[in-house]
Structure 1
Amino acid sequence: MNGPEIQISFAPGLRLFVAADRRSGHTTVATDGSSSLGHVVESLGVPLTEAGRLLVDGRPVPPSHVPAAGETVDVEDVARPQQVPGAPLRFLLDVHLGTLTRRLRLLGVDAAYESEDIGDPALAALSAKERRVMLSRDRGLLRRRELWAGAYVYSDRPDDQLRDVLGRFAPRLAPWTRCTACNGPLAEADKDAVRDQLETGTENTYDVFARCTECDRVYWRGAHHARLEAIVTEAVREFGGAAAL
């Protein structure tokens, strides 16, 4: 780009996306005189899913705004909690976010997951078809125009990933109501109805069961329940909901 020059600055939370020489204060960027501000922001490394308000000389403008010479641009962080209009809040996670997917489902959050790498175009199309927020650490995927909505997952640690998503979107939590394997709803199950799916030790030890209404997986308070309960309790304490099974 060698057209009109603008001054642009990125909020601290966005600076990991941009080159080191653009991480402090306003820096000069030459535009081509026809591309939108949204295109300019993404060309500098920031997915528009992560950009909040775009301010030109202090006034908000849409991503379609075409920058003019001498303008000063400030790119803000996404406001939290982020509102996702027009549909129930649902998520789609890519193949690299399996642990985050299971934890969201544990909390009763609708989280679809692709266990195989089906490719960015297919993921973006699925996000649009099912009106799901795409969660990914793939910046290229989040720049795809066909996405319905998306968000970058900033950490590679599941604890931090979960806290980030819950803080950003404030989904309604309903722990222990969703299958962690397939995302289907759980229903109480009589022991006699699931007896043929139980090992002898489980049958002799536990009496309270739930079963997925879609994949028939059976759940009970087994050896890993304390660890899962700790995840639920912490999430409910920080973000609200009902922790009881």
Structure 2
Amino acid sequence: MERPEIWITFAPELHIFVAARQRAGRSAVRTDGASTLGHLVESLGVPLTEVGRLLVGGRQVRPSHVPTDGEEISVHGVAKPQQLAGPARFLLDVHLGTLARRLRLLGVDAAYESPDIGDAALAARSSVEQRVMLSRDRGLLRRREIWAGAYIYSHRPADQLKDVLSRFAPPLAPWTRCTACNGTLRDTAKDAVHGRLHDGTERSYDAFAQCTDCEQVYWRGAHHAHLNAIVEEAVREFGGEPPARPGPDLPVSGQAAV
């Protein structure tokens, strides 16, 4: 018995995921008559995290729909800003360290995992903590236990940041999170961090902040202008409260700049 044939069209923003024959427009696909539309779309290369509306003959259906012979299917991208079932909290894989630090710089809750954790543990943490999994790994984003996820399209941190901010519109609170561990910052007196400062730093600066979790110390140092430019551009383009005071700069321990 001949397998059912459907006709499928992918939105242009999804062409990055599919084979050349599916990028030209409407294309024929044979199905097994039992698999869901969600499974079919993923088998053609598109993670469901990147899929918005699924239309069959102009009627919206769920990923659990089982296509039948002759159906005309349109696969759309995610509408922006994407609505989440909870607060905009993120989990980033090992390849997105710079993006994690930039999100934290803007006060966005961005957890980041070390290289030795596997996909199963990442997906489990996303589920338990209800965090949006951000990754360039399509296989990771296909794991069913992920609470929510998003593919990071660019290799460039500046573009990655804009992609996340435009897609999820998280509230911004610059200079309130530790770029090293994601903890919250509080102002602190110089005397309170005396033992954690180099002599030159202690002589040159008077305003300090400290992470309430890892106790990292921050101040306005040589990299402040670069960091402030990132903050000002994000606030200007995506909204949020401008910082009430000039933010601190790099941690004493020399964490990499964002």
After TM superposition, the score normalised by the length of structure 2 is 0.93
- SS of the residue corresponding to residue 235 of structure 1 reads helix
CA distance in 1, matches of 2:196, 2:182: 20
Alpha carbons 1:4, 1:30 under 8 Å: kept: yes
Q: Which residue of 1 aligns with 2:84?
A: 84
Which residue of the partner structure matches residue 40 of structure 1?
Answer: 40
Distance, in Å, in 2 between the alignment partners of 1:172 and 1:132 is 15
| Unmatched segments (≥5 aa) in structure 1 | none
* Matching residue of 2:229: 230
Counterpart CA distance in 1 for 2:234 and 2:3 is 49
* Contact 1:94/1:117, CA 8 A, preserved across alignment: no
Deviations 1:179-208 (A, max 9, x none): 000000000101111111111111111111
* Matched position secondary structure for 1:96: helix
Q: Does 1:155 align with 2:154?
A: yes
Under a length normalisation based on structure 1, what TM-score does the superposition of the two structures give? Answer: 0.98
Q: Once superposed, which parts of structure 1, at least 4 consecutive aligned residues long, lie more than 4 Å away?
A: none
* Matched-pair identity in %: 71
Q: Are residue 95 (structure 1) and residue 94 (structure 2) matched?
A: yes
Shift of 1:115: 2.1
Determine the C-alpha separation between the residues in 2 that align with 1:55 and 1:199: 62
**Deviation of the 1:88 alpha carbon:** 1.6
Per the alignment, in what secondary structure is the counterpart of residue 235 of structure 2? Answer: helix
SS of equivalent to 2:21? helix
Give the drift of 1:3.
1.8
Instruction: Write out per-residue CA displacement over residues 109-135 of structure 1, whole angstroms, 9 at most, x where no aligned residue.
Output: 000001224111111111111110000
The one-letter amino acid of 1:225's match is H
Q: C-alpha separation between the residues in 2 aligned to 1:106 and 1:137?
A: 21
Q: Distance in 1 between matches of 2:99 and 2:242?
A: 18
Quote the residue 2:21 is aligned against.
Answer: 21
Confirm whether residue 136 of structure 1 aligns to residue 135 of structure 2. yes
Worse-matched range after superposition: 52-61 or 195-204:
195-204
Describe the superposition over 1:3-53 as per-residue Cα deviations: whole angstroms up to 9, x where unpaired: 211100000000010001110211000111111000000000000000110
Q: Is there any run of 5+ residues in structure 2 with no aligned partner, and where? A: 246-258
Deviates more, 1:191-200 or 1:62-71: 191-200
1:198 corresponds to: 197
Supply the distance in 2 between the matched residues of 1:201 and 1:242 (Cα, whole angstroms): 32
Partner of 1:239: 238
- The CA RMSD over aligned residues, in Å, is 0.8
How many matched pairs? 243
Looking at structure 2, the residues matched to 120 and 152 of structure 1 have their Cα atoms a distance apart, in angstroms, of: 15
